[in-house]
Amino acid sequence: KTRLKIYRTSLKSSRIIIVIHVLIIIYCGFFFVIIVLICVLTGVFCLFLPPPLLQIPSCAEGGVLGILPGVIGGIQATEVIKLILGKGDILASRILIYDALSMRFREVQVRRGPNAEVNQLVDYQGFCGVGPAAPKPPPEEEGFRRLGAAAAAARLAGGWAPFVLDVRLPQEAEIVRLPFADALVPHREAAAVADQLPRDRDLLVHCKAGGRSATACKALAAAGFERERLFNLDGGILAWAREVDPSMPLY
Taking the C-alpha atoms of residue 14 and residue 151, their distance in angstroms, rounded to an integer, is: 55
Q: Are 203 and 231 within 8 A, CB to CB? A: yes
From the candidates 28, 39, 128, 207, give the one annotated as an active-site residue.
Answer: 207
Domains and CATH numbers, the chain: 19-128 (no CATH), 139-243 (3.40.250.10)
3 state SS of 168: coil
3-state DSSP call for residue 52? coil
Tell me the sheet residues that pair with 210. none
Q: How many residues does the chain have?
A: 251
Report CA 229 to chain centroid distance, whole Å. Answer: 28
Is residue 207 among the annotated active site residues? yes
Over residues 176-207, the pLDDT tens digits come to 999 999 999 999 999 999 999 999 999 999 99
- Predicted pLDDT at 27: 40
59 as an active site residue: the answer is yes
pTM over 0.75? The answer is: no
pLDDT, averaged across the chain:
76
From the list 46, 59, 128, 217, the catalytic residue is 59
Quote the Cα angle for 207-212-214, to 5°. Answer: 100
How far apart (Å, rounded) are the C-alpha atoms in residues 190 and 217?
8
